[in-house]
Structures are given as C-alpha cells and as structure tokens.
C-alpha cells in the first residue's frame, strides 16, 4: 500500500469508526449469529495474490459486523464493561502507527517514562499513596500471576526460582470464594496447586472474607508446617461485587508476614471518586493492587494498572537480563519487561495519557458517578416491582436480581430462560451468575455513552420479555407461599 492509498484508507477507517459508533445503538447488542456461521463464510485458504482494500473493507461490513457483540453499545449491561472513548480510539490509532515494542527503556524511552508518569497519576487518582510504583500490564490476570509469583518467591527466599518447587514446603494462598477465576488460574500456573488455595468464608453485606477465619487458617497452616505466602483480597468481585474488609485483612497478613495482593480489576476505577473510597480503606497496607482502566476508565483494552510497594521483589522474581537485552552504559533506567510475564510490551501508556488529559479527572469522575447513581435508581425500581426480587443490592454500579412472579415454579429455570430471551431480543445484553445457590441476573452500568434513558429501555425490555414468558403457574416448590399476595 503506497502512502496515498494509506492516507485514503486511514481516513476511510476514521469515517467508518465514527459512523459505526454513531449508529451502534440501532444494532442488537449481543451478536445474533450461531456457532460456525462466520467461520463458514471465510475462505478455507488465504488469497495467493493481494486483494483490493475495497473488497476487504466491504467484507468487514458484510461478514464481520453481524458477528460482533457490541461492547460499546449504550445498552451493554453484561459482564463488566470494557469501555473506551474517542480520545482512546485516536491514541490507539497513533499507537498502531508507531508500532513500537516497548520492552526496554532504550527501545522507546518516551514510552517507558510516560508509563512511569501516568501510573503515578493513576495511583494518586485512586488515593493509593506515593509508596507504590506502577506498571501497565496486559491484564489483571497477568498482574495477579506476577503478584503470586512474587509472593511465592518472597516466602521461599527465592528458592523456588533457583531449585524448583519440588522439596519445598507447600506454599499456601488464601482468598474467599468471591475472587475472580484468574486467582485460581495464577495458583495453577505458579505451581502452587488447587489444593493449596484456601477458601476463607465471607460475612456481612459486602460478602467480605472473615478476618478471624483468615487468621485461624494461617495459624493452622503454620502449625502443620505449611508455608502461608499470600492473601488475595477482592475489591469488587466479579460475581456480585464482593469487597473484602481490607484494613482487617491487611492486619492479619502483616501479623503473619504474608503478602497481600488486592484485585480491584473492575472497582478500582471508581476509586477516583473519593466518596467511594470507604471500600478500599486499608488498601495502602497491601503489597500490590491491580485495577483495569480497560474496564471502567474509558481506555481501550488492554490496560491493567498494577501497583507494587516493593518493585525489587517483583523484578527479582521476574527480571532476567540475558546479554542480548542489556542496555549498555545506562544505569537508573526502568526496563518494564522485568515487571511483567511477557517480554514484549505494547505502548499502552499513550491512550491513558490521551484519555486522562482529554476528560480531566473531574470529567472521568462525573461519568462514573452517573453510572453508580443510575444503578442505585434502577435497583430501587426492581426492588419495588412485585414480580421481581433484588437479590444483591448495588455495590458501586453492579446489582443482581431475578424474576419471581407469584406461583412460578422453578425460578432458576425461569430466569435462565429470561436471560436468553432478553439477549435474543437485542435491546440490551445481560449476563447471569450464581449467588447463594441461586441463578441470578447481573446488571452493571459502565458504558461511555449510556444515558438514563438507555437504562430505562433495558428495564422495559426486561419487564416485557418477562411478561411474555408465561411462567408455569405450578404453585409448587420455592415459588409457593413466598410471594403470596397476602
């Protein structure tokens, strides 16, 4: 592609992007294709000769768009958001043009030094305190793996890295059942093993781990000759937004010299609003914390902010300096690859810099505050509806509910059908979880362009689809009696 046609196609792509986002609200939120439908339309063999861009671009609209779930749709209320914003799109375009591999300071000093600066900004924005240093990881999963490897090696005095885990005392990790599956995965990858992930029971309205039970579990393990290494606490669990009592958990971890990692992947972005920071009290006592600007801070995937109190412990765990990676005659520079699992690194700081500067901290706060206020307002409506039940109240912008009309039989099956029908309907997109053994529907608000009207439309869609389900009025089992119109 020559320069002139690159310019023309770059402009086409820009126009396409603006038009796509302007019209995305008209599309069904979740892709309406079946398995294999897209695959079958893509030729089995690549073209031997180059094809015209016009043809490639036409196929984008024809083949790809119908198979997309629209994450930037204003009525995307499923999972957690992966929101973005125009300044972030622009920065990603520029990043793509630079196409720099930012593994070492030397391979792009500006990328490294901007990363140091914007992670300091983020740290200060969430009120974490200057004794933390930040790095941008590809994912919260990657950050948590790095944290657990660090904790493992700290507990083993680096014998794991030197000798392997065979013959070492079993390393123990503690977390509630509300933590994300990335903790389970990191425990496996780190060679710690499922059997050494100790589940601590939760209590209270925020479903946080019981610090006394944590303390007892650590003491029991010490007495049994096992090696307590890390506590992973959650600030905004994925299922229903559970928050561990960080202050009390940190006190237990400190008492036993155990590493504390806080997974705030989703909720961390909301900590830029001081009024929500009650939830993170005690986080400053942690050894590390991760949150995802790529979830709720209007910045493209991938962008996970990982903060550590002792970068040396992290780089001693992960940093390797083979001769071909040495930066000659440069002391005092940061080589961020030593802070991460992969060697290669995208220039992720640029989009954060664009987003934070473009909105300003107050602009970002305004958007998050609206999401939280709307979630609270909608949760009230759900709770007030005679045929619906609010199962867990809003923690920030996430709550769960279920359809429980009088006389309905199997509520799990009914709600499973309801979620499927809502997503076939296309006006909104919701997903489910299990809470206390029950099938419940999650509702979270976090999209950049969502308005209160979008929230209302989604709630209207839920009520309409629910009413059309015609539940079997069996009058049996768990539905009976509980919602009798007295």
- Cα–Cα distance measured from residue 139 to residue 375, given in angstroms and rounded to the nearest whole number: 26
347: which 2 tokens? 């220039």
Segment near ligand PLP (CB under 6 A); pick from 51-59, 185-193, 230-238, 252-260: 230-238
Q: Which sign does the torsion angle of CA 87, 90, 94, 95 carry?
A: positive
**CA separation (Å) from 393 to 389, 396, 444?**
10, 9, 11
Q: Which of 30, 70, 152, 180 binds ligand PLP (CB under 6 A)?
A: 180
Shortest distance, CB of residue 343 to ligand PLP, whole angstroms? 19
Using the rule CB under 6 A, is 238 a contact of ligand PLP?
A: yes
- Quote the least distance from Cβ 242 to ligand PLP, whole Å: 9
Applying CB under 6 A, does 263 fall inside the site for ligand PLP? yes
Name the residue nearer to ligand PLP (CB basis): 265 or 273: 265
Q: Which of 227, 215, 204 is nearest to 251 (CA)?
A: 215
- Cα–chain center distance at 203: 23
Query: Binding segment for ligand PLP among 163-171, 231-239, 242-250, 438-446 (CB under 6 A)?
Result: 231-239
Count helices and strands (H / E) in the chain: 14, 13
Binding to ligand PLP by residue 182, rule CB under 6 A?
yes
Report CA torsion sign: 186, 187, 190, 193: negative
When asked if residue 265 is in the footprint of ligand PLP (CB under 6 A), the reply is yes
Q: Does 292 bind ligand PLP (CB under 6 A)?
A: yes
Q: Which two tokens stand for residue 17?
A: 């992007």
- CB nearer to ligand PLP: pick between 266 and 336: 266
Q: Toward ligand PLP, which CB reaches closer, 140 or 418? A: 140
State which of residues 95, 141, 299, 423 lies at the interface with ligand PLP (CB under 6 A): 141
Contact between 139 and ligand PLP by CB under 6 A: the answer reads yes
Binding mask 74-93 toward ligand PLP (x if CB under 6 A, else -) reads ------x-------------
Task: Give me the phi and psi of 394, to 5 degrees please.
Answer: -65, 125
| CB 146, min distance to ligand PLP, A | 12
- Asked if 237 contacts 178 with a C-beta cutoff of 8 angstroms, the reply is yes
The minimum distance between CB 232 and ligand PLP, in angstroms, equals 10
Q: In this complex, which beta carbon is closest to ligand PLP, that of residue 289 or of residue 461?
A: 289
Q: Does 239 bind ligand PLP (CB under 6 A)?
A: no
Asked if residues 159 and 168 have their Cβ atoms less than 8 Å apart, the reply is yes
**Per CB under 6 A, does 352 bind ligand PLP?**
no
Query: Of these, 102, 103, 140, 390, which contacts ligand PLP (CB under 6 A)?
Result: 140
Site string for ligand PLP, 37-76 (x = CB under 6 A): ----------------------------------------
DSSP track, 207-273 = TEE-HHHHHHHHHHHHHTT-EEEEEEEEBS-TTT--B--HHHHHHHHHHTT-EEEEE-TTGGGGGGS
Helix (H, G, I), strand (E, B) or coil at 37: coil
What angle do helix axes 311-318 and 140-155 make, rounded to 10 degrees? 90
Binding site for ligand PLP (CB under 6 A): 80, 139-141, 180, 182, 234, 237-238, 263, 265-266, 292, 304
């Amino acid at each position: 592609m020559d320069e002139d046609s690159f310019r023309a196609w770059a402009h086409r792509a820009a126009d396409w992007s603006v038009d796509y986002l302007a019209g995305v609200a008209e599309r069904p939120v979740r892709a309406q294709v079946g398995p294999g439908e897209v695959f079958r339309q893509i030729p089995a063999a690549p073209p031997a000769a180059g094809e015209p861009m016009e043809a490639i671009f036409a196929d984008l609209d024809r083949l790809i768009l119908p198979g997309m779930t629209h994450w930037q749709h204003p009525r995307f209320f499923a999972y957690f958001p992966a929101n973005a914003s125009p300044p972030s799109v622009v920065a990603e375009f520029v990043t793509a043009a630079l196409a720099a591999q930012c593994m070492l300071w030397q391979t792009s000093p500006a990328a490294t030094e901007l990363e140091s600066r914007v992670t300091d900004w983020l740290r200060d924005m969430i009120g974490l305190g200057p004794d933390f240093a930040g790095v941008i990881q590809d994912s919260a999963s990657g950050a948590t793996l790095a944290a657990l490897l660090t904790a493992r090696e700290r507990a083993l005095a680096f014998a794991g890295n030197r000798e392997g885990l065979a013959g070492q005392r079993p390393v123990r990790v503690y977390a509630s059942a509300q933590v994300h599956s990335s903790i389970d995965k990191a425990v496996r990858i780190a060679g710690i093993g499922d059997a050494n992930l100790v589940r601590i029971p939760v209590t209270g309205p925020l479903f946080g781990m019981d610090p006394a039970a944590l303390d007892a579990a650590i003491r029991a393990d010490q007495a049994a000759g096992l090696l307590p290494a890390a506590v992973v606490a959650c600030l905004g669990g994925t299922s229903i937004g559970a928050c561990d009592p960080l202050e009390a958990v940190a006190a237990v971890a400190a008492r036993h010299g155990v590493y504390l990692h806080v997974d705030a992947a989703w909720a961390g972005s909301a900590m830029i609003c001081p009024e929500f920071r009650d939830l993170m009290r005690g986080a400053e006592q942690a050894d590390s914390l991760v949150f995802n600007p790529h979830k709720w801070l209007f910045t493209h995937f991938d962008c996970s902010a990982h903060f550590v109190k002792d970068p040396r412990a992290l780089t001693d765990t992960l940093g390797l300096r083979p001769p071909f990676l040495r930066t000659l005659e440069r002391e005092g520079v940061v080589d961020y690859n030593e802070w991460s699992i992969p060697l290669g690194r995208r220039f992720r700081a640029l989009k954060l810099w664009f987003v934070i500067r473009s909105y300003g901290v107050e602009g970002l706060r305004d958007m998050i505050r609206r999401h939280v206020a709307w979630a609270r307002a909608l949760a009230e409506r759900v709770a007030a509806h005679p045929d619906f039940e609010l199962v867990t109240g809003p923690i920030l912008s996430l709550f769960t509910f279920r359809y429980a009309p009088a006389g309905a039989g199997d509520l799990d099956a009914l709600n499973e059908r309801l979620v499927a029908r809502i997503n076939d309907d296309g006006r909104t997109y919701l997903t489910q979880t299990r809470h206390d053994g029950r099938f419940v529907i999650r509702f979270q608000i976090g999209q950049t362009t969502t308005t209160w009207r979008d929230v209302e439309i989604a709630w209207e869609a839920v009520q309409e689809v629910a009413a059309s389900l015609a539940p079997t009025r069996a009058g049996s089992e768990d539905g009976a009696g509980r919602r009798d119109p007295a």
